[in-house]
Structure 1
Amino acid sequence: MSLLQRIGRRSGGLIFTLLVVLGLTGLYLYHSFYSDQPEIALVIGEPYEDMRQRSSADIAPHLPGHAWYNAPKTDAHLRFTDLKYGFVTPPARFFTVSFFRNGTINSVRMSPQIEPLLYNDAIKIVLDLQDQWRKAGWVLTKGYRPLVNTPEAHDSLRKMKGTGITFWQADDKYQVMLNMARFKDDRYPNEERYLITLAIAKPWVNQ
């Protein structure tokens, strides 16, 4: 093997190692950033009070004998704690946790953002969530496709011809609805802003 070949192979190995290190560093920073912020940590079907004890974000207790919902008292991200199907969202301002009369968690509905976002920022969140689900073993609900970042999809959302909506599920345990739509924000009348909606519950579509 020539000296140039050896140098090339060594350089390739160093580049690959560097990419791995950078990827792991980015993942660490990503989760460290969220772990330092108030969070609601839960799984669908568990006792509401278990969620309150586990979460760092302040949220009111459930109402015994009532089916209702509460919202965190501060912006908070969601950490879905299922050991296999877990995932993490960005901080949310709109965030509700619903519970049954018996005090178990029924569903979550949230917008994983602090405010309506520009398209590039919104689609980045959408793609990251779908990537987390895919890696954790979630699959698309039959009949649905993932949301994508293509000129055609963006144009459809921009012209408000409809919303980008998809459903993913974790076996027969959970299902998520992910929706992205253009949103008129009076604070930014000349900007193209988007709102993401996320809902989680036991499977309720195509069952």
Structure 2
Amino acid sequence: MNRFWPISWQRGGLSLIIAALLVFGTVRLFTNAPEVALILGEPWEDMRQRSSAKIDPAIPGSYWGRVITSDARLRLIDLQYGFVTPRARFFTVSFDDNERVSSIRMSPQIEPLLLDDTLKVVLDLQEQWRKGGWIPIRVNYDPPFADTPEWRAQLRNVNKGGTSYWQAGNKYQVMMVVNRFKDERNPTEERYLIKLQLATPWVSQ
């Protein structure tokens, strides 16, 4: 497994996200739920001991990852660039062959969300990044999300959706993707999935 989860997970990982989210739950964005508290590059055991969510040990000498089996939020505990997500039902953390945390991929929600709720999550995360000194990158191709008629129309288009990249110095990069999703439990409603990938920078600015 690579040190970060490649962009192709948008397709290959989608079925895993859907399976994780198609469990009944109540939307609560920030609670005292279990959390995974980490810094990229730190020893896996340090992350395990600090986090309140249950996480299995790393596999020595392997590039692999672990699925967080309980609804949990991510807390990046970097003093400058830290941020916190809502609870996630789909949440994986990967490690490298030195048993160090290498990347995260997750969907920061516990069920497919309505558009207003989706934008609340996305815009809150972007505001945390902005306040922490992250900068949006590739803005000519993938500008930051915004609550505008144009963005709403784009997200409602099942063939478009949206992607935004943010970078924190030379330490971290985030890719956030939003797509419309057909929720069979709510067939008359427009529901959405948010996908988040965090790793050391892998896309050029």
Report TM bin, short chain. Answer: 0.7 to 0.9
Q: Secondary structure in 1 aligned to 2:62?
A: coil
- Name the counterpart of 2:78: 82
Q: Secondary structure in 1 aligned to 2:87?
A: coil
Amino acid at match of 1:196: I
Whole-angstrom distance in 2 between the partners of 1:80 and 1:172: 16
1:65 paired with 2:65, answer no
Q: How many residues align?
A: 176
Q: Secondary structure in 1 aligned to 2:152?
A: helix
Q: Secondary structure in 2 aligned to 1:46?
A: coil
- Name the counterpart of 1:137: 133
Q: Provide the alpha-carbon RMSD of the alignment.
A: 1.6
More displaced 10-residue stretch of structure 1: 157-166 or 61-70: 157-166
Amino acid at match of 2:99: G
From 175, 178, 181, give the equivalent of 2:176. 178
Residues 87-129 of structure 1 deviation map (CA, whole Å, 9 limit, x = unaligned): 0000000000001011011100000000110000011000000
Q: Identify, as 1 or 2, the structure richer in helix.
A: 1
Matches within 5 A, 1:32-51: 34=31, 36-51=32-47
Whole-angstrom distance in 2 between the partners of 1:38 and 1:68: 22
Rg larger for: 1
From 199, 202, 205, give the equivalent of 2:200. 202
Whole-angstrom distance in 2 between the partners of 1:57 and 1:96: 12
Residue 146 of structure 1: how far off its partner (Å):
0.9
Residues 25-45 of structure 1 deviation map (CA, whole Å, 9 limit, x = unaligned): xxxxx99x53x2100001111
TM-score, reference length from structure 1: 0.81
Whole-angstrom distance in 2 between the partners of 1:179 and 1:142: 14
- Name the counterpart of 1:8: none
Matches within 5 A, 1:1-207: 34=31, 36-143=32-139, 144-206=142-204
Unmatched 5+ stretches in structure 1 = 1-29
Q: Secondary structure in 1 aligned to 2:201?
A: coil
Residue 198 of structure 1: how far off its partner (Å):
0.5
Amino acid at match of 1:182: R
Unmatched 5+ stretches in structure 2 = 1-27
Following TM superposition, the consecutive aligned residue runs of length 4 or more in structure 1 with deviations greater than 3 angstroms are none
